[in-house]
């Protein structure tokens, strides 16, 4: 079978997507892809979702820090509806997530370099985190006193997630000192 000529092939854009979840929440690629398809189907409908053809091209999520990145492939001309569908993502699997489109590129390599530089790094190198644009620190686990009881906490820079009866609570260092 012959290949299609270049002018008839579909053209793609690649969206660099930042992912944030509770520290300790593990999100895998298939859960994120499924959530993306459902969000696109609910917002754009079946035909709009099929036209945009959203698919996860690259994915990385560090459960210890709760941050990650993904590269989402979308057809050229459907970038704005795809951004809206990504913004509607609230959960991946059983875990709540926050997503943000960092930028749009025409090639996968440009998307990795500009918007998702951590994608594909070794886990040991990915321990140094950035939180809301500020340099963070190494992720540590420790016991803290919160709400009058000793609880388990995950600290990353100035922020921490505290395990409060099974539900995580976001706090700062001032809240626990």
Contact 131, 119 (CB under 8 A): no
For residue 147, give both structure tokens: 């709400």
> In the prediction, which pLDDT does 64 show?
79
Q: Which CATH class is domain 10-124?
A: alpha beta
> In the prediction, which pLDDT does 119 show?
74
Question: How buried is residue 119: exposed, middle or buried, by Cβ count under 10 Å (0-12/13-18/19+)?
Answer: buried
d(CA 175, CA 177): 6
Q: What is the pTM of this model?
A: 0.72
What is the tens place of the pLDDT at every residue in 4-29? Answer: 999 999 999 999 999 988 878 889 99
> In the prediction, which pLDDT does 130 show?
47
Q: pLDDT confidence of 169, banded at 50, 70, 90?
A: confident
What is the tens place of the pLDDT at every residue in 92-129? Answer: 989 999 999 999 999 999 998 888 887 755 444 334 44
What is the tens place of the pLDDT at every residue in 129-152? Answer: 444 444 445 667 778 877 788 887
Mean of the pLDDT values across residues 58-75? 90
Percentage of the residues of the chain whose pLDDT score is greater than 90: 50
How many residues comprise the chain?
177
What does the longest C-alpha to C-alpha distance in the chain come to? 70
Domain boundaries, given as residue ranges, for the chain:
10-124, 134-176
Percentage of the residues of the chain whose pLDDT score is greater than 70: 87
Centre a 10 Å sphere on the Cβ of residue 175 and count the other Cβ atoms it contains.
14
Compute the C-alpha angle 87/89/14, nearest 5°.
Answer: 60
């Amino acid at each position: 079978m012959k290949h299609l000529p270049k002018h008839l092939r579909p053209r793609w854009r690649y969206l660099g997507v930042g992912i944030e979840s509770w520290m300790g929440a593990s999100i895998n690629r298939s859960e994120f892809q499924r959530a993306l398809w459902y969000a696109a189907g609910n917002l754009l409908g079946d035909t709009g979702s099929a036209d945009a053809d959203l698919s996860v091209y690259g994915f990385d999520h560090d459960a210890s820090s709760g941050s990650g990145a993904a590269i989402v492939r979308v057809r050229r001309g459907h970038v704005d509806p795809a951004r809206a569908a990504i913004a509607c993502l609230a959960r991946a699997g059983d875990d709540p997530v926050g997503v943000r489109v960092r930028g749009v590129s025409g090639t996968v390599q440009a998307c990795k370099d500009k918007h998702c530089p951590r994608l594909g790094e070794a886990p040991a190198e990915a321990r140094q985190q950035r939180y809301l644009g500020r340099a963070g620190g190494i992720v540590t686990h420790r016991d803290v006193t919160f709400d009058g009881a000793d609880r388990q906490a995950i600290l990353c820079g100035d922020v921490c997630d505290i395990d409060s009866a099974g539900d995580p609570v976001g706090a700062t260092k001032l809240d626990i000192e």
